[in-house]
Amino acid sequence: MSESDLRVPTISLPAEVVFADGSNLRGNLFLPAASALHGGPTSPREHLNAAEEFLAFLPDEVSVPVILNKAELLALSFEAAALPAEDDPAFFERKVVLECGGRRIEGALSIDAMQGQSRVLDYLNRADRFLPVRDESRDYLVNRLRISRVIEVRDA
Q: What is the pLDDT along the chain (156 residues), one digit of tens a residue?
A: 555 555 677 888 999 999 999 999 999 998 887 777 777 888 888 999 999 999 999 999 999 999 999 999 999 999 876 555 555 555 678 899 999 988 999 999 877 766 666 788 988 998 899 999 998 889 999 999 999 999 999 876
Q: To the nearest 10°, the Cα dihedral for 72, 85, 127, 94?
A: 100
Cβ proximity of 109 and 97 under 8 Å: no
Distance of CA 28 to the CA centre of its chain: 13
Query: pTM of the prediction?
Result: 0.83
All structural domains of the chain: 3-77 (no CATH), 91-152 (2.30.30)
Specify which residues 150 forms β-bridges with.
98
Q: DSSP of 39-102, one letter per residue?
A: SSSPPHHHHHHSS-SEEEEEETT-SS-EEEEGGGEEEEEEETTSSPP--STTEEEEEEEEEETT
